[in-house]
Amino acid sequence: MEMYPTPYQVDRATSTAAATAVTLSSALVSPGSKSKLVAVLVAYSAASTASITITLDSAAGADYDVRLATIDLVTQQWGVYTPDQKIPLGPGDRITVTAPAGAAGAFGRIMIYTEPEFAVSVNPLTYAGSRGYNHGDD
């Protein structure tokens, strides 16, 4: 079964050993392009108590870096950050997520979802038509 394309870029990182911290930075936004932060997902393999920080690292320098959010897990296995509006990222910007070590024996995983400026919503009917499945010509 063919899947419809997703307009999102997903950066992923998983801790390499149980009960170790994980830090992930999204790919740098390429020169001459823009992107938007859509969501951040942090998951542990077991319930954990941790404070995960999400920071916009600005290409303009440390004075312009912004802590966007803190996800506080209280004996939870996962947390999500979705901004009220997609956060614009300029050339050279990146999102950094730091997840401290979880519960004993727990592995951590981070996923950062960004949307390139050129991405558009995909209408399945338009998409199917562009692939040669134009049902009007049957």
Query: Which residues neighbour 55 within 8 Å (Cβ) at sequence distance 6 or greater?
Result: 65, 66, 67, 68, 95, 96, 97, 98
* Range with lowest mean pLDDT among 2-6, 40-44, 53-57: 2-6
Rounded to the nearest integer, the mean pLDDT of the chain is: 79
Note the pLDDT tens digit of each residue in 90-133. 999 999 998 888 777 777 888 888 888 764 455 544 544 444 44
The share of the chain scoring above pLDDT 70, in percent, equals 79
**Residue-level pLDDT at 133:** 43
Bridge partner list, 51 = 72
Higher pLDDT, 62 or 24: 62
34: confidence class by pLDDT, cuts 50, 70, 90: confident
Backbone angles phi, psi at 77, to 5 degrees: -95, -25
Domain ranges of the chain: 9-137
In sequence order, what are the residues at sequence separation of 6 or more whose Cβ sits closer than 8 angstroms to the Cβ of residue 29?
35, 59, 89, 90, 91, 92, 93, 94
The fold adopted by the segment(s) 9-137 is: Jelly Rolls (2.60.120)
